[in-house]
Amino acid sequence: MAVAHLDDALTTMTAMAPEHRPEASAVDPLRSAVERYLATAAGTAWMPDVEVPAPPSTAGLREAGVPVDDDAVRKVAERERERRACLRRLVVSDGWAWHGC
């Protein structure tokens, strides 16, 4: 589930306006590591059928004063449908519920 949390945070960061987004050199290696993990895990784990999860919630960020665009987050999440579905399959196959992510 920690990988799903991390990926939701990275997804949200990539959707932020450039002036608020962390440097790509800080985000891209983590996104690549998650991608490699998903490729490996998908080949070795039982993968149940699941629906693609909703985009990450930005309510907590907005409450903390972090400028975030819900439309941009939604668009990035939509573009990464298969990645997010794979993460959800891994979370469910480990016995967790996605609503905890």
Task: Give the range with max mean pLDDT: 16-20, 23-27, 38-42, 90-94.
Answer: 23-27
Whether the Cβ atoms of residue 31 and residue 11 lie closer than 8 Å to each other = no
- Per-residue pLDDT reduced to its tens digit, 38-49: 989 877 766 678
| Residue 79, pLDDT score | 95
pTM listed for this prediction: 0.84
Binned at pLDDT 50, 70 and 90, residue 98 comes out as confident
Phi then psi for residue 41, to 5 deg, are -65, -35
Indicate if the pLDDT at residue 5 is higher than 60.
yes
